[in-house]
Amino acid sequence: QQPVQSPQAVILREGEDAVINCSSSKALYSVHWYRQKHGEAPVFLMILLKGGEQKGHEKISASFNEKKQQSSLYLTASQLSYSGTYFCGTDPDRDDKIIFGKGTRLHILP
């Protein structure tokens, strides 16, 4: 049931764009995105709901393809502060439990 994230890691230079993908083997009703910096707790970025409603971060966007059971997180004109590990989470059984992927490590170089 664990969603699969790709890539596992990515290195960018400041100002470049990044895309992080999340796919599920089960139907998606919601996708949650979090970012975690080293030694800190995960922090909520965004939630995408079935039907297209999106709630979350002002400088990061995401898409949600219900048919393909996929979501993608878009970070445009990346900043040094974007470095960290990004996790997607799904709630496949619609019981208010998030199952997280293994994460994507993003490193931004100056």
Q: Which of 87, 90, 106, 108 binds another protein (CB under 8 A)?
A: 87
Length of the chain: 110
Strands (E), the chain: 4-6, 9-13, 18-23, 30-36, 43-49, 54-56, 60-65, 70-75, 84-90, 99-100, 104-109
For residues 45 to 74, the per-residue mask of contacts with another protein, x marking binding by CB under 8 A and - elsewhere, is --x-x---x-x-------------------
Q: Nearer Cβ to another protein, position 42 or 84? A: 42
CB atoms within 10 A of CB 89: 20
Q: Measure the CA–CA gap between 108 and 88, rounded to whole angstroms.
A: 19
Q: Nearer Cβ to another protein, position 22 or 75? A: 22
**38 touches another protein (CB under 8 A):** no
Q: Which of 26, 37, 68, 97 binds another protein (CB under 8 A)?
A: 97
- Which positions lie near another protein, rule CB under 8 A? 1-2, 30, 32, 40-44, 47, 49, 53, 55, 87, 89, 96-103
